[in-house]
């Protein structure tokens, strides 16, 4: 079993070369164990590395070869026979007869032990590991173990270098992972401009990256104090909407100084003060950093207690400070959006104010009040009820020209408005889940039933009252319980004040409705009777001729409206596999055909997978043919299954390789700018590489007033005049009439979608103009007087119809 002589026949150069061929600790340990096992057959060779953690030093198994024993993965440094090497790093040899089972309890032995030896692995004077030999045939000799000294010296150096390599690689991977996390978090922070959505994202992502129990996000208020806007996780030392100033807490102090704070000692006076009322769930360690927008403080972020129980360190504080830079930028963008929305709300308020004060028509005023604010307030339904003859009557509902009292949705709304009008203040009722935020049980029951029937989850009602008494009540509803912000509520209050004045003026004017109509008629009658007879007859003849023309002469009726070129049909080119862009074969504006290769991804990995699959497939076929040649049917069947499997893998590898070519799904024009700059960019699954637009046809949406919508049909001819081409008329055909109305400039319109040939690519998305649709031949009177006739009929019906 053991070679004779005191020297072992080991080729040191070959051994060192084999070790250099492997860079990681595991493979190198297996090489060392195999070389030892080759020199000492019928033994078990185990390679240990001496490591240390929070519980102290321990032996870690890196390789074990041979039969008869299975070592535990880790062994205490001072345990058993290995403990002798740990205490005195020299070669030790034990005879099996002198050993008790507890001496090698770390080995699961299934045979009788004849001899056990431990050879230390030393790097200079430092113990880095050990070689353990276990013999089952005959004892081990000390001189044979000492002959392993050259091998042990080289083995120790190789293991130390491999551990350093793995540590360096781990550090590099950790740095890359951290950079990737920073990049991903910056994208996540920039994914929304909604402040209410952004704050939970900031808190949650920071908590995830710092691996802590809680993250508190404070924002600066106008008076210089800071308000706890969001708390991710559990921190018993803070409360929602908590306010701090300098000297009142750690966050307040950081907002004053603008300097980051790291506290890693639970006995720190500042933490003791903070934990005064926290009980057992105290803050053990905390890091705090300011949120700076350029040179201005916008807030403070706190991270509380690492999840693993260890205190925060300077690296954690650096991470928090870096995250704050991205968070501050995202908060700055969100604040700009809030400011822009406030401007939009003011503009919408001015527009509505001009509309309701420019007329004394009560119906028009009410329609403007319920439909106009929709440009700035995200409600789904608005309604107004007015006081008439001592009774509150529903006057207008957004999106409806007329109100049907038999509609099952109208009656509950009208009853609710009458109830809301009894209050002198605004009523804001919201439903979150099954909970309705009102202290009165009767109100909860009323709105639980109403919300269930209407599908809404928020109701805001505001009485309209002036010095003369109650004018009416205005309401807004939405399925989103939090659809109104503070800015929206302020706008509604201003709108309500203006609406009260406009409604009162319109009601007073409506009390004498015929004055403005009868006076001009009587004046014209007296003037006509005062004319001479021949002139009256000529006027009568002219009127009769005009009537005959209007009744008998057919004219082509055309309805028109604003035209807008709709977006062209576009297709996104996305990779089906991950990879780095190797080459780009198209540019912005290039015309491509369906299936044309636009770019290629680097195929290294997929070519390697294809080569490996092809090699294994060929090997399986060869082994199957060899088994068939030797009439071994069982082996041939097994190899046939393996060949089929690797054949399928080869086909999948070929498919993955083919997917490195990015092809155009349709024929069209490349619309993505600077496509060539994507070379070297990594594309993940779902990333958009390019957009291809089909410009062979253009679609134009013509906004037709709802009174003309019944005349529209698919297949009718249309003429389009675009502002970009003042001397050209484009002709096409109506393909679709939108089934749903849209609000445009406070009127309801339906869209006639017209397709136009666009072979020259002259028509582009977003162009505007005017469109006319030919709806058939009709008498001239119908063509000229249709609009006034409809208006007159609607007025008469509103007065006398039923």
pLDDT digit string (tens) for 33-57?
Answer: 888 888 888 888 999 999 887 778 9
Locate all alpha helices (DSSP H) within 630-723, ordered by sequence.
Answer: 633-658
Percent residues over pLDDT 70 in the chain: 92
Q: Is residue 114 part of a domain?
A: yes
**What per-residue confidence (pLDDT) applies to 53?**
79
Q: pLDDT tens-digit profile of 689-705? A: 888 877 778 889 999 88
Going by C-alpha positions, the residue among 300, 328, 310 that lies closest to residue 238 is: 300
Q: What does the block give as tokens for 688?
A: 């958009």
516 and 505 in a single domain? The answer is no
Residues 252 and 399 grouped into a single domain: no
Give the N- to C-terminal CA distance of the chain in Å, as an integer.
Answer: 116
Instruction: Give every CB contact of residue 740 below 8 A, 6+ residues apart in sequence.
Output: 750
Whether residue 71 sits in one domain with residue 56: yes
Secondary structure E strands in 96-206:
107-109, 115-123, 126-135
- Triad 31, 37, 42: Cα angle to 5°: 155
Digit-coded pLDDT (tens) for 555-611: 888 888 899 988 767 788 888 888 888 888 888 878 888 888 888 888 887 777 778
Cα 566 to Cα 569: distance, rounded to the nearest angstrom: 9
For residue 510, count other CB atoms closer than 10 A to its CB.
13
Q: Are residues 363 and 334 in the same domain?
A: no
Number of folded domains that form the chain: 6
Do residues 93 and 226 share a domain? no
pLDDT at 339: 64
| Spatial distance between the Cα atoms of 639 and 646, rounded to a whole number of angstroms | 10
Q: Please, which pLDDT band fits residue 477 given cuts at 50, 70 and 90? A: very high
Residue 180 falls inside a structural domain: no
- Side-chain-side CA neighbours of 543 within 13 Å: the count stands at 6
For residue 599, give the CATH number of its domain. Answer: 2.40.50.100
Segment among 149-163, 314-328, 521-535, 591-605 with least mean pLDDT: 521-535
Residue 5 is predicted with a pLDDT of: 39
In a domain, 179, yes or no: no
Residues 371 and 491 in one domain: yes
Judgement on whether residues 702 and 669 belong to the same structural domain of the protein: no
**587 in helix, strand or coil?**
coil
Cα distance between residue 133 and residue 148, in whole Å? 11
In this structure, are residues 218 and 244 in contact, taking their beta carbons and an 8 Å threshold?
Answer: yes
Q: For position 271, which CATH number holds?
A: 3.30.450.40
**90: its two tokens:** 């020299």
Q: What's the pLDDT tens digit per position in 486-537?
A: 777 888 888 888 888 888 887 776 665 554 555 566 567 767 777 888 888 8
Q: How confident is the model at residue 6 (pLDDT cuts 50, 70, 90)?
A: very low
State how far the Cα of 465 lies from the Cα of 473, in Å rounded to an integer. 8
pLDDT at residue 190, as a whole number? 62
For 685, the 3-state DSSP assignment is: coil
Do residues 498 and 516 both lie within one domain? no
CB of 591 within 8 A of CB of 792? no
Residue pair 554/678 in contact (Cβ under 8 Å)? The answer is no
Strand stretches in 543-601, DSSP E: 554-565, 569-573, 579-584, 591-592, 597-601
Residue 198, in any domain of the structure:
yes
Residues 660 and 759 in one domain: no
Same domain for 373 and 301: no
Q: Using one digit for the tens of pLDDT, what is the confidence trace for 625-671?
A: 888 878 777 877 887 888 788 888 888 878 887 888 888 888 888 88
Question: Token match 């519980």: residue?
Answer: 55
- Predicted confidence (pLDDT) per residue in 385-442, tens digit: 888 877 888 888 888 888 877 777 888 888 888 888 888 778 888 888 888 888 888 8
Domain containing 526 equals 512-551
Residue 710 lies inside a defined structural domain of this protein: yes
Do 637 and 673 have their domain in common?
yes
Residue pointed to by tokens 């150096």: 157
Nearest to 47 by CA among 31, 35, 29, 59: 29
Residues 378 and 486 in one domain: yes
Compute the distance between CA of residue 467 and CA of residue 446 in angstroms, rounded to an integer.
Answer: 31
How far apart, in whole angstroms, are the C-alpha atoms of residue 192 and residue 650?
Answer: 44
Q: Where are the alpha helices (DSSP H) in 40-104?
A: 80-87
CA distance 305 to 267: 14
Structure confidence at residue 616 (pLDDT): 83
Name the domain boundary from 478, 494, 509: 509
d(C-alpha 477, C-alpha 483), whole Å: 9
Q: In this structure, is residue 181 part of a structural domain?
A: no
CB 561 within 8 A of CB 749: yes
Q: Is 450 inside any structural domain?
A: yes
Q: In the chain, what's the furthest Cα-to-Cα distance? A: 153
Distance CA(639)–CA(616), nearest Å, equals 11
Helices (H) and strands (E) in the chain, counts: 18, 35
Look up the CATH number of the domain holding residue 750.
2.40.30.170
Helix (H) or strand (E) holding 155: helix 149-189
Pick from 691, 707, 734: which residue ends a domain? 691
The answer as to whether 758 is a domain residue is yes
Tokens standing for 714? 């698919």
Among 397, 354, 348, residue whose Cα is nearest residue 376: 348
Round the average pLDDT of the chain to a whole number and report it.
82
What burial class does residue 13 get, using C-beta atoms within 10 Å of its C-beta: 0-12 exposed, 13-18 middle, 19+ buried? exposed
Could you please report the per-residue DSSP string of 420-486? HTT-SS-EEEEEETTEE--S-HHHHHHHHHHHHHH---EEEEEEEEETTEEEEEEEEEESSTT---H
* Helical (H) or strand (E) element with 336: helix 314-357
CB 90 within 8 A of CB 121: no
Final residue of a structural domain among 653, 676, 691: 691
Kindly tell me if the per-residue pLDDT of 326 is higher than 80: no
For residue range 277-293, list pLDDT tens digits in order.
777 778 888 988 888 87
């Amino acid at each position: 079993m053991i070679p004779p002589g005191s020297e072992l026949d080991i080729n040191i150069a070959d051994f060192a070369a084999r070790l250099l061929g492997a860079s990681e600790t595991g493979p190198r340990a297996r090489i060392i164990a195999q070389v030892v096992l080759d020199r000492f057959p019928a033994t078990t060779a185990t390679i240990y590395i001496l490591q240390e953690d929070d519980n102290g030093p321990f032996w870690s198994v890196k390789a074990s070869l041979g039969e008869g024993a299975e070592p535990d993965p880790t062994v205490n440094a001072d345990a058993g026979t290995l403990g002798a090497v740990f205490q005195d790093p020299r070669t030790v040899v034990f005879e099996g007869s002198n050993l008790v089972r507890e001496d090698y309890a770390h080995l699961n032995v299934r045979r009788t032990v004849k001899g056990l030896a431990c050879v230390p692995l030393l790097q200079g004077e430092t113990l880095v590991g050990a070689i353990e030999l276990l013999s089952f045939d005959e004892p081990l000799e000390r001189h044979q173990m000492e002959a392993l000294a050259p091998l042990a010296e080289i083995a120790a150096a190789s293991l130390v270098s491999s551990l350093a390599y793995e540590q360096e690689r781990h550090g590099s991977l950790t740095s890359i992972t951290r950079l990737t996390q920073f990049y991903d978090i910056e994208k996540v922070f920039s994914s929304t401009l909604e402040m209410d959505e952004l704050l939970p994202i900031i808190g949650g992502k920071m908590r995830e990256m710092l691996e802590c129990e809680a993250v508190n996000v404070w924002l600066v208020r106008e008076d210089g104090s800071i308000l706890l806007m969001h708390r991710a996780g559990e921190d018993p030392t803070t409360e929602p909407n908590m306010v701090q100033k300098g000297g009142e807490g750690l966050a307040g102090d950081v907002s004053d100084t603008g300097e980051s704070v790291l506290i890693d000692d639970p006995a720190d006076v500042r933490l003791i003060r903070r934990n005064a009322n926290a009980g057992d769930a105290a803050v053990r360690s905390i890091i705090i950093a300011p949120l700076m927008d350029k040179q201005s403080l916008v807030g403070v972020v706190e991270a509380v207690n690492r999840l693993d129980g260890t205190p925060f360190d300077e690296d954690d504080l650096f991470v928090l400070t870096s995250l704050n830079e991205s968070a501050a930028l995202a908060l700055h963008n969100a604040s700009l959006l809030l400011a822009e929305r406030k401007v939009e709300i003011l503009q919408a308020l001015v527009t509505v104010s001009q509309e309701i004060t420019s007329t004394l028509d009560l119906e028009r005023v009410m329609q403007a009040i319920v439909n106009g604010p929709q440009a700035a307030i995200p409600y789904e339904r608005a309604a107004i009820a007015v006081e008439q003859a001592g009774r509150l009557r529903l006057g207008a509902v957004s999106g409806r020209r007329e109100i049907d009292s038999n509609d099952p949705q109208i009656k509950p709304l009208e009853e609710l408005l009458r109830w809301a009008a009894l209050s002198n203040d605004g009523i804001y009722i919201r439903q979150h889940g099954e909970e309705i935020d009102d202290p009165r049980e009767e109100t909860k029951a009323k709105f639980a039933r109403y919300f269930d029937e209407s599908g809404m989850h928020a109701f805001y009602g505001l009485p309209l009252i002036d010095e003369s008494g109650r004018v009416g009540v205005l309401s807004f509803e939405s399925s989103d319980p939090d659809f109104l912000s503070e800015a929206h509520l302020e706008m509604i209050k201003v709108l309500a004040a203006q609406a009260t004045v406009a409604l009162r003026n319109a009601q007073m004017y409506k009390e004498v409705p015929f004055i403005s109509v009868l006076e001009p008629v009587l004046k014209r009658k007296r003037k006509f009777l005062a004319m001479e007879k021949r002139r009256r007859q000529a006027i009568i003849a002219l009127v009769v001729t005009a009537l005959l023309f209007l009744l008998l002469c057919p004219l082509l009726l055309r309805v028109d409206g604003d035209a807008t070129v709709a977006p062209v049909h576009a297709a996104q080119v996305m990779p089906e596999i991950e990879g780095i862009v190797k080459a780009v074969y198209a540019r912005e504006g290039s015309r491509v055909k369906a299936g044309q290769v636009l770019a290629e991804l680097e195929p290294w990995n997929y070519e390697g997978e294809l080569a490996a699959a092809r090699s294994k497939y060929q090997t399986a076929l060869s082994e199957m043919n060899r088994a068939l040649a030797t009439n071994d049917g069982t082996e041939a069947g097994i190899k046939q299954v393996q060949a089929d499997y690797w054949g399928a893998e080869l086909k999948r590898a070929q498919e993955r390789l083919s997917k490195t070519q990015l092809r155009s799904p349709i024929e069209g024009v490349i619309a993505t700018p600077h496509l060539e700059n994507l070379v070297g960019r990594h594309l993940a699954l779902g990333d958009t590489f390019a957009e291809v637009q089909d410009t062979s046809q253009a679609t134009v949406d013509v906004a037709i007033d709802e009174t003309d919508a019944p005349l529209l049909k698919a297949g009718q001819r249309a003429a389009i005049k675009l502002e970009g081409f003042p001397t050209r008329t484009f002709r096409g055909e109506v393909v679709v009439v939108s089934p749903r109305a849209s609000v445009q400039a406070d009127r309801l319109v339906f869209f006639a979608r017209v397709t136009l040939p666009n072979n020259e690519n002259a028509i582009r998305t977003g162009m505007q103009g005017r469109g006319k649709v030919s709806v058939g031949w009709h008498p001239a009177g119908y063509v000229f007087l249709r609009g006034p006739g409809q208006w007159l009929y609607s007025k008469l019906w509103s007065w006398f119809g039923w």
